[in-house]
Amino acid sequence: MTKFGIGQPVPRTEDARLLRGQGRYTDDIVLPGQLHLHVLRSPHASARILGIDAAEAREAPGVHAVLTAADLAAAGIGDIPCLTPVRNRDGSEMANKARPVLAADHARFVGDPVAAVIAETPEQARDAAELILVDYAELPSSTDMVRARSGGPAVWDDAPGNLCFDWQKGDAAAVDAAMAAAHRVVALDLVNNRLVPNSMEARVCLADHDGDTGRSRLWVSSQGVHFIRRAIAGVMGLKEADLQVLTGDVGGGFGIKIFLYPEYVLALFAARRLGRPVKWTSDRSEAFLADDHGRDNLTRAELAVDRDGRFLGLRVTTRANMGAYLSNYGPYVATEAGTNMLSGVYTVPAVHVRVEGVFTNTTPVDAYRGAGRPEAAYVIERMADAVADELGLDPAEVRRRNFIPPDAMPYRTPLKHVYDSGDFAKNLEDALVRADYAGFPARRAAARKHGKLLGIGMATYIESCSGGGPEQATIQVAGDGRITVLIGTQSNGQGHETSYKQLLADRLGVPLEAVTIVQGDSDRIGFGSGTGGSRSIPVGGAALAETAAKVIETAKLKAADLLEAAAVDVEFTVDADGGRFAIVGTDRRVSFQEVARAAAEAAGTGTGGLAFDEVARWTPPAATFPNGCHVCEIAIDIDTGVPTIERYTVVDDFGTVLNPLLLAGQVHGGIVQGIGQALLENTVYDPDTGQLLTGSFMDYGMPRADVVPFIDFHLNRVPSTTNALGMKGAGEAGTIGATPAVINAVVDALSEFGVRHVDMPATPQVLWRLIHGRDSRIAAE
């Protein structure tokens, strides 16, 4: 193994520029003559648009154009389609409501784009937007799903009951039978609260157009340029070949930067029409309204158990908020993306799930870190604790009795998947030891003396990764031994540059500094499926490893020529000094760099030129299944209700690990996003006006450094048997395990008051009321 090979905690090469302020984020790019676009958004949750008078705005200083839906319609610009329609239980099609680029005659949520102003400066565009007179006829709105489904105002006239779809999966009869025969049916009603993803870099794009070549460019802070190119070309009726999509450094994505949004279409349309570059930079207030939101499920879960707490059948009924329009993947996230994981790490013989997609007058909902799997893990892991509570068992014991054992692998779950590997009991036992579970009762008693309610909670999660289709990697070897990689995944901060370089250091023995990773350029990179679903290292990495293997085979032929030997007699080895080819059993050898130089000379391209290149594509044969155990210990102050996480322990199985330093970073960040959802973050609309009440960092509780603990993180590596590298993916797992662990701890802390469940976010106010409410024992003390 080399110093920078697989498994080494290599610090990142990206950091050299990012730490010096030399990153190149999209807003940092300034094109000569660039104009600025501002979007005028609906102030109403639902309103007919009777007319738009932009005459004064068009005459305002610096203004080049004001666009409305009529301009787009005249140019043949379509709506942004939902790419993942689902079918109703009766086989009929769902109510498919695409997202308009600009609302034409009806604005359907606060923040719905209504017009766009393009001006010389951002200030002029913003000032001019205030001069646009929109004649709105305000209508009553439905922002919460219960109201929307029970006679609330219609978001769409032709979607009765605000129902988008009524989808199901699984064996309803088998679940009914399990329920009928059960010792007990344990039930919980759960809220999976709506979240605003809030990447620290808000969304931003910059478009320009070359009238001579007829080609346009779009720089956009994205999670993959190829998807954006395909999607925007479709909406605008352009040829993909006429469009170059580029992504530089990305300041966080978490899902929301996958999708095509109206603003990118507006900027590109304006640049093509005006012949000047056009930039749109979202501010944070706008991001709260305009970035897709995440989660927002109401779920009833019922779990049939026998006398010993063994799971017999699970029924899950969910309402999933779609928002006012369907985002690219909205229905998929609420259905297939997560529900297949509802049985978790347990042997549940029968599962049935039904999901109603619901339209509301809110921002569209789509994938946010985990995308369906956090929701599923929250359901089954809360249910495991509810069973323990109902039967008077230790939550760890309930899990032990239901785990799928390692020798049952590969294990077919009731809904879809075949788990290839995992040792769920070991994850739990290791985590309980690290968390000193045995010592908890003494800590609880001690804390109580100091006015604190201590609780401990666990979650033995599993999730599915590596979807999203194939990935492709190209390796270009130059005569000087330098290597350029072209790959269609897109780092949003994970550190793909370092990870991929490290993989090549491992396979080819090249130094990290000899490798350049190219991502985010749809012209240079022929194919890409982008970053999402924790796929980049397991799928992108596997594609790169496959390409590296082809590079070695090609180089071996060239080395054989240099060594005047038959290729079958030449072997390639990597050690601390690099990669070299040798005739087996002799000391006659030639380095990778020498082979590259000779190849470039033979090709006549010179030492800096291309010696040879290879490309390979890798398609995952199956999903991978990261799994693990989170244990959270929380102290709730009796006087104030303030929760403090005292310790947080996680044992994860991600299979083979490429870079443990970067991996731990993914886990830490994911867990804190989960802690944020469980304790702080909530998206609140005023039920009467439909206004977003939590529309800034003043109102929306982002987790900050002073409310989270250090995280004790350990690995239990069981290599994936279906992934070429044995890797399972780690980008979302932290978020998936965290919410049930935290809420299980909160409920445990409050168990002495008969509390069986606390909805997220468990804020100090919520907790104080549970402790001091009329019926609580504390209040009586």
Partner 1 sequence: MPITVSLSVNGRPVTKEVEGRTLLVQLLREHLGLTGTHVGCDTSQCGACVVHVDGKSVKSCTMLAAQAQGASVTTIEGLAAPDGTLHPMQAAFREHHGLQCGFCTPGMVMSAVDLLQHNPSPSETEVREWLEGNICRCTGYHNIVKAVLSCAETMKSGAKAPAAAAE
Number of residues that bind partner 1 (CB under 8 A): 55
Q: Kindly state whether residue 672 participates in binding partner 1, applying the rule CB under 8 A.
A: yes
Least distance to partner 1, CB of residue 702, Å: 5
Query: Any bridge partners for residue 99, and if so which?
Result: 80
Least distance to partner 1, CB of residue 677, Å: 13
Least distance to partner 1, CB of residue 30, Å: 8
In angstroms, the CA 204 to CA 250 distance is: 10
DSSP states along 46-68? SEEEEEEE-HHHHTSTTEEEEEE
Least distance to partner 1, CB of residue 659, Å: 9
In angstroms, the CA 237 to CA 244 distance is: 15
Interface residue with partner 1, options 164, 235, 250, 762 (CB under 8 A)? 250
Amino acid 401 reads: R
Stretch that binds partner 1, among 244-252, 317-325, 331-339, 454-462 (CB under 8 A): 244-252
Q: Kindly state whether residue 330 participates in binding partner 1, applying the rule CB under 8 A.
A: no
Interface residue with partner 1, options 671, 692, 750, 771 (CB under 8 A)? 671
Least distance to partner 1, CB of residue 555, Å: 33
Interface residue with partner 1, options 335, 347, 494, 716 (CB under 8 A)? 494
Q: Which is nearer to partner 1, 352 or 452 (CB)?
A: 452
Binding mask 722-741 for partner 1 (x = CB under 8 A): ------------x-------
Q: Which is nearer to partner 1, 199 or 554 (CB)?
A: 199
Closest CA to 593 of 482, 475, 474, 476: 482
Q: 259, 207 in Cβ contact below 8 A? A: no
Contacts of 71 (CB under 8 A, 6+ apart): none
In angstroms, the CA 24 to CA 43 distance is: 34
In angstroms, the CA 683 to CA 680 distance is: 10
Q: Which is nearer to partner 1, 126 or 588 (CB)?
A: 126
Q: Which is nearer to partner 1, 284 or 589 (CB)?
A: 284
Interface residue with partner 1, options 191, 470, 571, 697 (CB under 8 A)? 697
Interface residue with partner 1, options 112, 127, 144, 201 (CB under 8 A)? 201
Interface residue with partner 1, options 2, 318, 347, 492 (CB under 8 A)? 492
Q: Which is nearer to partner 1, 12 or 399 (CB)?
A: 12
Binding mask 631-670 for partner 1 (x = CB under 8 A): ------------------------------xx-xx--xxx
Least distance to partner 1, CB of residue 674, Å: 10
Token pair in block for residue 236: 């605008």
Contacts of 632 (CB under 8 A, 6+ apart): 456, 457, 458, 645, 647, 648, 649, 738, 741, 742, 744, 745
Phi, psi of 586 (to 5 degrees): -130, 175
Least distance to partner 1, CB of residue 628, Å: 16
Q: 329, 85 in Cβ contact below 8 A? A: no
- Segment holding 336, helix H or strand E: helix 336-339
Per CB under 8 A, contacts with partner 1 among 8-37 are 11-12, 14-16, 18-23, 25, 27-28, 30
Q: Which is nearer to partner 1, 16 or 241 (CB)?
A: 16
Least distance to partner 1, CB of residue 498, Å: 10
In angstroms, the CA 256 to CA 279 distance is: 19
Q: Kindly state whether residue 573 participates in binding partner 1, applying the rule CB under 8 A.
A: no
E-only strand ranges, 619-750: 627-637, 643-653, 712-715
Q: Kindly state whether residue 126 participates in binding partner 1, applying the rule CB under 8 A.
A: no
Token pair in block for residue 700: 């929306």
Per CB under 8 A, contacts with partner 1 among 271-300 are 283-285
Interface residue with partner 1, options 124, 192, 193, 198 (CB under 8 A)? 198
Interface residue with partner 1, options 696, 721, 751, 765 (CB under 8 A)? 696
Query: Any bridge partners for residue 297, and if so which?
Result: 192, 320
- Give whole-number Cα distances, 148 to 143, 329, 345, 363, 450, in Å: 7, 21, 35, 15, 46
Stretch that binds partner 1, among 141-149, 222-230, 603-611, 703-711 (CB under 8 A): 703-711
Least distance to partner 1, CB of residue 174, Å: 41
Q: 705, 714 in Cβ contact below 8 A? A: no
Q: Which is nearer to partner 1, 217 or 369 (CB)?
A: 369
Token pair in block for residue 127: 């000032």
Q: 431, 649 in Cβ contact below 8 A? A: yes
Interface residue with partner 1, options 587, 698, 774, 775 (CB under 8 A)? 698
Number of H helices, E strands in the chain: 22, 28
Q: Kindly state whether residue 511 participates in binding partner 1, applying the rule CB under 8 A.
A: no
Q: Kindly state whether residue 587 participates in binding partner 1, applying the rule CB under 8 A.
A: no
DSSP states along 99-120? BPSS-SSEE-STT-EEEEEEES
Return the DSSP state at 355: E
Q: 218, 228 in Cβ contact below 8 A? A: yes
Q: Kindly state whether residue 372 participates in binding partner 1, applying the rule CB under 8 A.
A: no
Q: Which is nearer to partner 1, 97 or 630 (CB)?
A: 630
- Radius of gyration for the alpha carbons in the chain, expressed in angstroms and rounded: 28
Least distance to partner 1, CB of residue 342, Å: 27
Token pair in block for residue 543: 């594609």
Least distance to partner 1, CB of residue 285, Å: 6
Least distance to partner 1, CB of residue 664, Å: 8
Tally Cβ neighbours within 10 Å of residue 177.
Answer: 16
Binding mask 448-467 for partner 1 (x = CB under 8 A): --------------------
Q: Which is nearer to partner 1, 282 or 421 (CB)?
A: 282
Q: Which is nearer to partner 1, 113 or 703 (CB)?
A: 703
Binding mask 147-176 for partner 1 (x = CB under 8 A): ------------------------------
Would you give the end-to-end CA distance of the chain in angstroms? 64
Least distance to partner 1, CB of residue 379, Å: 24
In angstroms, the CA 526 to CA 549 distance is: 20
Burial class (CB in 10 A: 0-12, 13-18, 19+), 62: middle
Q: Which is nearer to partner 1, 701 or 719 (CB)?
A: 701
Return the DSSP state at 748: H
In angstroms, the CA 88 to CA 552 distance is: 51
Binding mask 524-563 for partner 1 (x = CB under 8 A): ----------------------------------------
Q: Kindly state whether residue 673 participates in binding partner 1, applying the rule CB under 8 A.
A: yes
Q: Which is nearer to partner 1, 493 or 540 (CB)?
A: 493
E-only strand ranges, 584-705: 589-591, 610-618, 627-637, 643-653
Phi, psi of 167 (to 5 degrees): -110, 150
Whose tokens are 């130089």? That residue is: 597
Amino acid 571 reads: E
Least distance to partner 1, CB of residue 72, Å: 28
Whose tokens are 């083979």? That residue is: 656
Q: Which is nearer to partner 1, 141 or 490 (CB)?
A: 490
Binding residues for partner 1 (CB under 8 A): 11-12, 14-16, 18-23, 25, 27-28, 30, 123, 198-202, 249-252, 254, 283-285, 492-495, 661-662, 664-665, 668-673, 696-698, 702-706, 708, 710-711, 734
